[in-house]
Amino acid sequence: MNAIRHLPLVGCVALLYAAIAVFGAEAPVHPVLSIGLPSGASWSLSLGDLLLVIAVVSLYFEVLKATRTSQASVLDHILSLFSFVACLFGFLFVSALGTSTFLLIMVMALFDVIAGFTVTISTARRDFSIPDRQ
């Protein structure tokens, strides 16, 4: 159970999108929800859009996880990096993942990697009082 909290959440969303896109054919573009607006327009939410929303929320939690200063945070960063690399290869080499939606999820995975390392380095610099060189 403890190992589950090290899984990169954005990577899990990317994996879910990949499974739906590869095995569900056109499933990510089909509307899941449609709501009539007071303006008369109809707003619809596709499965891909819903996964984007879930990925944004997951990214928030990943940035929160990056603020922890423990040896386990290094494992989190490594798994996030592997997750991004897997997304990149999937985007480049799997035709079903060559979509704008998956590209945005992949950018969130990259942001997770960059934010994680940046927060960890900043926190370590503050904790160990490394003076700035001028």
Name the residue range of residue 58's domain. 2-127
* The residue type at 45: L
pLDDT of residue 3: 65
How many independent structural domains does the chain possess? 1
Burial class of 44 by CB neighbour count within 10 A (0 to 12, 13 to 18, 19+): exposed
pLDDT of residue 130: 55
Residue 96 in domain: yes
pLDDT band (50, 70, 90) for residue 127:
low
Nearest to 28, CA basis, from 42, 14, 11, 8 = 14
Residue 60 in domain: yes
Residue 93 in domain: yes
Q: Report the percent of the chain where pLDDT is more than 70.
A: 86
Residue 37 in domain: yes
Report the predicted TM-score, pTM, of the whole model to 2 decimal places: 0.83
Average pLDDT value for the chain? 85
CB neighbourhood size of 111 (10 A)? 16
How far apart are the C-alpha atoms of 105 and 83, rounded to whole Å? Answer: 11
Residue 132 in domain: no
Q: What is the pLDDT of residues 57-96, one digit of tens each?
A: 999 998 888 877 667 777 888 899 999 999 999 999 999 8
pLDDT of residue 91: 95
Return the beta strands (E) in the chain as ranges.
Answer: 31-36, 42-46
What would the mean pLDDT of 98-115 be, rounded to a whole number? 93
pLDDT of residue 128: 60
pLDDT band (50, 70, 90) for residue 28:
confident
Residue 88 in domain: yes
Residue 36 in domain: yes
What would the mean pLDDT of 33-61 be, rounded to a whole number? 91
Residue 133 in domain: no
pLDDT of residue 110: 95
